[in-house]
Structure 1
Amino acid sequence: MTEHNFPPLQNDRILRAAKGEEVDKAPVWIMRQAGRYLPEFRELRSKHDFFTICQTPALACEITLQPIKRFDLDASIIFSDILVVPQVMGLTVEMKPGVGPVLPNPLLDPSHISRLITPNVEADLGYVGEAITLTRQKLNGKVPLIGFTGAPWTLMCYMIEGGGSSTLSKSRPWLYKYREDSHKLLQMITDVIIDYLVMQVKAGAQLLQVFESHGDFLNLELFEEYSFKYLKQISEKVKQKLDVQNIPRVPMIAFPKGATLDSLELLAQDESYDVIGLDWTVNPQEARSRLGDKVTLQGNMDPCAMFDTPQNVRKRAAKIVENFGKRRYIANLGHGILPETPVASVESFIAGVHSI
């Protein structure tokens, strides 16, 4: 991959916060900020299939920039999807309106693991790299760009369930019934993710987030064996590979949604991630005291609180910053923004965060 000459960064607030450095204000971004709550997103989406947008760098770039043009955000996140990884491993993924992602041929038992392929990440996911490079150029240094992936356990669940699930009744039994095969599958996914994240940094990503969206299905014992083990490996191997290629490391964020405080504490004490994302159920003061001051915390406004009045949204956002404290903190929602969220609430949320 060629060397890039990107414009100098004008706002490094989120990078400073991730490293534990002083900031004038808490940085803020929003999970799924380039998404369905924006009329300009819905207009573009009406003309193109979801994965066509993901796989077309110019379209992915355009959507990534939409919220940056509209709001005073401190970071952008590349428009893509966590399920591009199962796609390049040989599984069909369709985005069905009103349903969400569907994998019509899931892994029904461990014998199906043999159906998976080892992709050439730089070739097969090169479109994400191209979108990142293009977006870095178009951002013109305004804010940093975040790259991301789903975590191995979360992706394994989609690959077995065949889509989203409120119970994970097909994938969770694997952890007891097929322990060795579960680890085999998780390792295959992990190997792809490591190369994928390295490629994103080479393309221009300035932070990386790993979404463990199914953390709420794991107690501490299961989290340690089936999530943490692979999250740690991802962080360590990404850094090693960047060092070998003489590419500067970037801060890394882990977001284990719904994980127990014991699990979050395990992750924090390990210090393999600079930032830990918290969902809206976690008490800020308790998180701060349990997780310590060696990691930056990110979160954790309830996405449904965005349906309050603009004035109350602003007040609540300011209060959350006060509760976490400005140092080692990145403001965000406790999960992705909901499609029906009023645009005015987003403005109020950002204003509330920046008011402290």
Structure 2
Amino acid sequence: MTRPADALAGPLAGSAFLKAVRGEPVPHTPVWYMRQAGRSLPEYLRVREGVAMLDACADPDLVVEITLQPVRRYGVDAAIFFSDIVLPLKAVGVDLDIKPGVGPVVAEPVRTVADVERIPDLTPEHVPFITEAVRGLVGELAVTNGGTPLIGFAGAPFTVASYLVEGGPSKEHARTKAMMFGAPDVWDALMRKIAGISAAFLEVQVAAGASAVQLFDSWAGALTPADYEQYVMPHSARVLARVGQLGVPRIHFGVGTTNLLPLMAEAGADVVGVDWRTPLGHAIPLVGDRAVQGNLDPTLVFAPADVMTARAAEIVEAGRAARGHVFNLGHGVIPSTDPDQLKRLTEFVQSYPVE
């Protein structure tokens, strides 16, 4: 699968977001928000009414509309593809669903190598709706706010594996770690399988026109650095290496990963996402000569506007020490967030002096 030759040329190449992730001078600090596509927006709740999450993710028209909503409302510098980390598994035939208030639930959790082997590899033929949605989005985004890049999205192998092994969300990841430590052959087979699926899912998005990608490792913070380096990092690196061949910037983000930041950078990221628990100034030396993304505490959007913007200013100032800085929350938008407050935050960051 090849990247269109002119995909990073033209007006998007000069976008603040793509300049920042490449470490180039920017006209303003670019800003976008994880989980900006939906959750808190009334227009999102209207179009999602009566539509299950995975059904929405497989409807190209809905994906285009939902992805565009925050770009229209906030004027953010990048769009994030509306999807879910388990969608590729559903597409290849894994029996799972997203239950409201619970999260992804897998009917038959993975226990053996035979279970892994029954999971097909992902091909573009499994997800034609993704290609259609991305192409539609790229066309719309080219004329939105003067041209807005699209970020492709996939779950990292450890996080996806946790859902497959646990059968659903878990705080302790006990079964996951039991397999990792006690059945390394099954673990390795599963992680290789998921790495292949995640990489292929990102490749489909990039081939259709996405300008960058984010690999999202929600649960990696449950690991020690030594265990991450041995059991997880090689598989995330495999995903990032495959996508890197397509010439797009790669963002790597995890939650609670202060102790893993150097390894997450080493895995192949061009940009390392930093959650709100780690001061950005502390994180920047840990990731090497790379751009960073983050990292306002999502709850600060509920604070008075002057408190929120004062904290945002501190983050923008700290980001100057990095090769490049993309402003974001330190995790996703909270569903009860006031959209008007996010609009204020966006305008504040974009208008903050770059020198």
**TM-score, shorter chain, exceeding 0.5:** yes
CA contact (8 A) 2:233 2:267 kept: no
CA contact (8 A) 2:113 2:189 kept: no
Q: Tell me, what secondary structure is at the counterpart of 2:229?
A: helix
- How big is the shift at 1:110? 4.6
Give the residue type in structure 1 aligned to 2:317. E
Q: Tell me, what secondary structure is at the counterpart of 1:332?
A: coil
CA contact (8 A) 2:217 2:254 kept: yes
Indicate yes or no: 2:152 matched with 1:147: yes
Structure 2 residue aligned with 1:246: none
Structure 2 distance, partners of 1:257, 1:87, is 24
Q: 2:351 aligns with which of 329, 351, 355?
A: 355
Give aligned pairs, total: 345
- After superposition, the C-alpha distances for 1:54-88 in whole angstroms (9 at most, x for unaligned) are 11111100000001111120000111111012213
Q: How does 1:134-283 map to 2 (within 5 A)?
A: 134-141=136-143, 142-240=147-245, 242=246, 249-261=247-259, 263-268=260-265, 270=266, 272-283=268-279
Give the residue type in structure 2 aligned to 1:137. G
Q: How does 1:38-53 map to 2 (within 5 A)?
A: 38-53=41-56
- How big is the shift at 1:271? 7.0
CA contact (8 A) 1:313 1:352 kept: no
CA contact (8 A) 1:86 1:159 kept: no
Structure 2 distance, partners of 1:89, 1:216, is 28
- How big is the shift at 1:53? 1.3
Identify which range, 125-134 or 56-65, moves more after superposition.
125-134
Structure 1 distance, partners of 2:174, 2:344, is 39
Structure 2 distance, partners of 1:203, 1:210, is 18
Give the residue type in structure 1 aligned to 2:277. T
Give the residue type in structure 2 aligned to 1:123. E
> Structure 1 residues 260 and 315 mapped into 2: Cα distance closer, same or farther (>3 Å)?
closer
- How big is the shift at 1:34? 0.7
- How big is the shift at 1:23? 0.7
Structure 2 residue aligned with 1:128: 130
Q: 1:308 aligns with which of 282, 303, 306?
A: 303
- How big is the shift at 1:109? 4.6
% identical equivalent positions = 34
> Structure 1 residues 55 and 5 mapped into 2: Cα distance closer, same or farther (>3 Å)?
farther
Structure 2 distance, partners of 1:185, 1:97, is 27
Structure 1 distance, partners of 2:87, 2:67, is 17
Give the residue type in structure 2 aligned to 1:275. V
CA contact (8 A) 2:92 2:126 kept: no
- After superposition, the C-alpha distances for 1:90-140 in whole angstroms (9 at most, x for unaligned) are 322212222222222222455532432233x20112211211110011112
- How big is the shift at 1:308? 0.7
- After superposition, the C-alpha distances for 1:210-244 in whole angstroms (9 at most, x for unaligned) are 0011111111111112221112222222234x3xx
Q: Tell me, what secondary structure is at the counterpart of 1:253?
A: strand
Structure 1 residue aligned with 2:29: 26
Indicate yes or no: 2:118 matched with 1:115: yes
Q: Tell me, what secondary structure is at the counterpart of 1:107?
A: coil
Give the residue type in structure 2 aligned to 1:253. I
> Structure 1 residues 5 and 284 mapped into 2: Cα distance closer, same or farther (>3 Å)?
closer
Unaligned runs of 5+ in 2: none
Indicate yes or no: 2:314 matched with 1:319: yes
Structure 2 residue aligned with 1:245: none
Give the residue type in structure 2 aligned to 1:183. D
Structure 2 distance, partners of 1:39, 1:8, is 34
Q: Tell me, what secondary structure is at the counterpart of 2:11?
A: coil
Structure 1 residue aligned with 2:15: 12
- How big is the shift at 1:31? 0.2
Aligned Cα RMSD in Å? 2.1
Unaligned runs of 5+ in 1: 243-248
Indicate yes or no: 2:83 matched with 1:80: yes
Q: Tell me, what secondary structure is at the counterpart of 2:104?
A: strand
- How big is the shift at 1:295? 0.5
Q: How does 1:98-113 map to 2 (within 5 A)?
A: 98-113=101-116
Give the residue type in structure 2 aligned to 1:346. L
CA contact (8 A) 1:219 1:259 kept: no
Structure 1 distance, partners of 2:11, 2:84, is 26
Q: Tell me, what secondary structure is at the counterpart of 2:174?
A: coil
Structure 2 distance, partners of 1:89, 1:171, is 22
- How big is the shift at 1:8? 4.5
CA contact (8 A) 2:236 2:267 kept: no
- How big is the shift at 1:205? 0.4
